[in-house]
């Protein structure tokens, strides 16, 4: 019997913020989502090595990367913010038990964030069962090589994160290690710039390792990193931790965020095995 596997090519247009606060209402199943209105997350670019990025993605890497993560994503020190405006822990728009987060998002900037968000009322969805992600993906896409944008289901994960990720069947070169998803790409592998239509398709020019990291306590997506074939970090952004609590009443300040729309594309490539 054929068994479909899917690969998450998390090339995102960047980020998700949900929250590190405890759940506000009863939830469904084994896993627990966290978050509350008012929670916020700020991401900051820590490393962006221009020459190494060009060696890996080619001369057009700037346009490609900013299409995925947003304008300004290659400036060291640039910051991006998301704020949760509403959370519904019990919804079933697709027939499965899900959670919905509504967020406001601010684009990358080297200065101060403005009073008005750049993207408002952006919805992010999560499945209580990771098996429903596989089922939903395989139901819609059953061809041998089909692209599916699944970013909305990976912007915020429930806890325990490691167990949730372990229930996913990863394609070759993909795996979860604890609370991280790791992609060991090889030179010649395909890279898809999904936000564009039709999507642009390119190739990794060298081997590299991409890592998406989630917070262990609250399931927030807190960082993305690329290492080149010599294990040097050539690009990285991660959560910025404030020195004082950002939300009164919470010892731990931040949490999730998502700013998609034009933001990130977590791309699923479904590989259907032949008998």
- Token pair recorded at residue 23: 């759940």
Cα torsion through 128, 132, 137, 138, rounded to 10: 170
Q: In this prediction, what percent of the chain has a pLDDT beyond 90?
A: 38
Confidence of residue 109 (pLDDT cuts 50, 70, 90): very high
> SS3 sequence, the chain?
CCCEEEEEEEECCCCCCCCCCCCCCCCCCCCECCCCCCCEEEEEEEEECHHHHHHHHCCCHHHHHHHHHCCCCCCCCCEEEEEEEEEEEEECCCCCCEEEEEEEEEEEECCCCCCCCCEEEEEEEEECCHHHHHHHHHHHCCCCEEEEECHHHCCECCECHHHHHHCCCECCCEEEECCEEEEEECCCCEEEECCCCCCEEEECCCCEEEEEEECCCCCEEEEEEEECCCCCEEEEEEECCCCCCCCCCCCCCCCCCCCCCCCCEEEEEEEECCC
Give the residues across from 147 on adjacent strands. Answer: 269
Q: Specify the pLDDT at position 46.
A: 97
Give the residues across from 145 on adjacent strands. Answer: 271
Q: Specify the pLDDT at position 273.
A: 36
Q: Specify the pLDDT at position 64.
A: 79
Region 40-61: mean pLDDT is: 93
Give the residues across from 131 on adjacent strands. Answer: none
Q: Specify the pLDDT at position 180.
A: 92
Give the model confidence (pLDDT) of 3-18 as tens digits: 333 333 333 333 434 4
**Contact call for residues 269 and 6 (beta carbons, < 8 A):** yes
Task: Kindly tell me if the per-residue pLDDT of 156 is higher than 80.
Answer: yes
Give the model confidence (pLDDT) of 54-106 as tens digits: 999 998 889 878 877 889 999 999 999 999 999 999 888 777 789 999 999 99
- Token pair recorded at residue 147: 């692209």
Task: Kindly tell me if the per-residue pLDDT of 28 is higher than 50.
Answer: yes
Range of the domain at 59: 4-272
**Which value, in Å, is the radius of gyration of the alpha carbons in the chain?**
18
Output the furthest CA–CA distance in the chain (Å, rounded): 57
For the four alpha carbons of 188, 178, 34 and 239, in that order, the dihedral sign comes to negative
Give the model confidence (pLDDT) of 30-40 as tens digits: 899 998 999 88
Give the model confidence (pLDDT) of 204-241 as tens digits: 999 999 999 998 888 988 899 999 999 999 999 999 87
More confident residue, 54 or 264: 54
Q: Specify the pLDDT at position 209.
A: 96
Confidence of residue 256 (pLDDT cuts 50, 70, 90): very low
More confident residue, 1 or 242: 242
Q: Specify the pLDDT at position 132.
A: 79
Region 143-159: mean pLDDT is: 60
More confident residue, 254 or 45: 45
Confidence of residue 43 (pLDDT cuts 50, 70, 90): very high
More confident residue, 198 or 251: 198
The number of domains in the chain is 1
Averaged pLDDT score across all residues of the chain: 74
Cα–Cα distances (Å) from 156 to 16, 20, 59, 152, 216, in that order, read 7, 11, 33, 8, 12
Task: Kindly tell me if the per-residue pLDDT of 263 is higher than 50.
Answer: no
Task: Kindly tell me if the per-residue pLDDT of 243 is higher than 80.
Answer: no
């Amino acid at each position: 019997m054929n068994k479909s596997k899917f690969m998450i090519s998390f090339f995102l247009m960047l980020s998700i913020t949900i929250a590190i606060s405890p759940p506000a209402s009863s939830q469904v199943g084994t896993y627990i989502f966290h978050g509350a209105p008012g929670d916020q997350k700020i991401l900051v670019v820590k490393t962006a090595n221009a020459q190494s990025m060009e060696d890996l993605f080619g001369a057009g890497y700037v346009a490609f990367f900013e299409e995925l993560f947003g304008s300004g994503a290659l400036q060291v020190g640039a910051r991006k913010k998301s704020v949760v405006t509403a959370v519904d822990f019990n919804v079933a728009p697709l027939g499965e038990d899900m959670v919905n987060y509504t967020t406001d998002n601010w684009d990358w900037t080297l200065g101060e964030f403005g009073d008005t968000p750049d993207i408002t009322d952006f919805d992010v969805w999560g499945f209580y069962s990771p098996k429903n992600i596989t089922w939903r993906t395989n139901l819609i896409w059953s061809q041998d090589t089909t692209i599916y944008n699944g970013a909305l289901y990976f912007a915020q994960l429930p806890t325990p994160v490691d167990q949730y990720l372990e229930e996913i069947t990863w394609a070759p070169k993909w795996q979860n290690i604890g609370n991280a998803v790791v992609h060991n790409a090889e030179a010649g592998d395909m890279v898809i710039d999904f936000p564009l239509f039709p999507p642009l398709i390119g190739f990794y020019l060298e081997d590299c390792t991409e890592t998406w990291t989630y917070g262990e306590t609250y399931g927030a997506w807190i960082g993305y990193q690329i290492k080149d074939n010599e294990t040097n970090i050539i690009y990285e952004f991660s959560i910025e931790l404030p020195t004082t609590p950002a939300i009164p009443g919470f010892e731990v300040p931040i949490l999730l965020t998502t700013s998609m729309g034009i933001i990130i594309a977590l791309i699923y490539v479904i590989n259907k095995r032949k008998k």
